[in-house]
Chain A
Amino acid sequence: MGIILDNLPKIERLPGGGIALTTADFLINWSRNSSMWPLTFGLACCAIEMMAAYASRFDFERMGVFPRPTPRQADVMFVAGTVAKKMAPPIIRIYKQMPEPKFVIAMGGCANCGGPFYDSYSVVKGVDRIIPVDVYIPGCPPRPEALMYAVIKLQQKIRLMKVKNGHGATPLQSAGARKLV
């Protein structure tokens, strides 16, 4: 299927070819972090940088990041922008609509902690108040390279997942970081 087995660790080739042996964890994690499909939605100016990352100059798709139009097909959610309190219930809703395993990348200062709107009456002080976040990117807004770096960090995190932890949770998630308030 076009897989270059020679470059992959933990792959054992049997003499004569035709069969390769590896662990289930490795295979599942490898397929997961090679096709991280984000949900297509943006909240504020960070979404412009996110769109630039998808476009030809940065070409996110070469990393397997390909935006999906529905949460049912998405693995990762980029929270790109300011989370207003009015937007919080829809975000929780689409997070719940995503199938497990699901990941969240908080992009930019607003999604991390409220950013310049921390004192505002209308802004959620960080999207981690409503949904669990896997990777935080600082910046206002972060450049597309930063978003790519966050995806690389998330891929590193996914490589630590184990099937026996149930839903393939990372060590942090199996310790309860996945619980919704």
Chain B
Amino acid sequence: MTAEEILTELQASFPGLAKSDAQVKDYPAWTVPAQSVRAVCERLRSKFSFDYLDVITAVDWSGQVNPKGYPQSLGQQGSEAAGQPDSQTAQPSSLIPHPSSFPQGRPAAQPAGARDIFELVYLVSALSTGVKICLRCEIPRKEPAAPSLYGIFMAADWQEREVYDLFGIHFEGHPNLKRILTPETQAGYPLRKDYEHVSDRYD
């Protein structure tokens, strides 16, 4: 059974399911509403023998990329320097050229595709039949939450903890949703576009 046939069969019970143009490698991509992610995966697992969750990751589509996440001493960019750092941490300007003197590779204006959403990306595959599918699921950036796949795929446990750790997306139904890669003292979610690094005792 190919991915196309699976899609048409699933669309009967999940009308929100659609084919997406954005294919990830050789994974045909579908868009799926957040509330039916778990049901779709449950169906894929039970009926179409999708037994392997390659990865869960997320994309922050909130647009403009600026180096705010850098340490304050390096990250100031023109008028963008909102949180002015205390001067003790600032590097002596004679040693390191100021970033504003660097060529700016990224456009200053908001890119056309910028939207205020996170996009969850699930790559699932059926090892027995070799069918692979990429599920894309858009969730609002404000109080982001999605149903957990815990209990369907074993791998979902740590993958969801990683996405929670780096993006702050809350997976409802996950029994142990806490940080996995960064220390407990980490402030904020580092892979968000608006992440601003707060110096801790190790910086």
Contacts and interface: CB of A to CB of B under 8 A. Distances in A.
A38 B200 CA distance: 30
Given A86-B181, A86-B182, A119 B74 contact: yes
Best-surrounded residue of A119, A125, A129, A130 (most CB of chain B within 10 A): A119
Give the secondary structure class of B's interface: loop
B71 A122 contact: no
Interface in A95-134: 119, 121-122, 124-125, 129-130
10 contacts: A85-B182, A85-B185, A85-B200, A85-B202, A88-B202, A121-B182, A121-B190, A121-B195, A125-B202, A130-B202
Contacts of B186: 85, 121-122
Nearest to A124: B202
B170 to A, nearest CB: 21
B203 interface: yes
Given A122-B182, A124-B202, 12 more contacts: A86-B181, A86-B182, A86-B183, A88-B202, A119-B74, A121-B69, A121-B195, A122-B181, A122-B190, A125-B202, A129-B202, A130-B202
B72 to A, nearest CB: 11
Contacts of A121: 69, 182, 186, 190, 195, 197
B88 to A, nearest CB: 15
Interface in B64-83: 69-71, 74
Interface residues of A, number: 11
B202 A119 contact: no
Contacts of B69: 121
A175 to B, nearest CB: 24
Contacts of B202: 85, 88, 124-125, 129-130
Best-surrounded residue of B74, B202, B203 (most CB of chain A within 10 A): B202
Contacts of A130: 202
A129 B69 CA distance: 22
Interface size class of B (residues with CB under 8 A): 10 to 19
Contacts of A124: 202
A105 B26 CA distance: 46
A159 to B, nearest CB: 33
A153 B30 CA distance: 60
Contacts of B185: 85
Interface string B169-197: 00000000000011101100010000101
Q: Which 3 A-B pairs have the closest CB atoms?
A: A124-B202, A121-B190, A86-B183
A149 B48 CA distance: 60
B183 A85 contact: yes
Nearest to A181: B201
A122 B181 CA distance: 9
Nearest to B190: A121
Contact of B70 (A85, A88, A119): A119
A130 to B, nearest CB: 7
A119 B70 CA distance: 6
Contacts of B195: 121
A122 B190 CA distance: 9
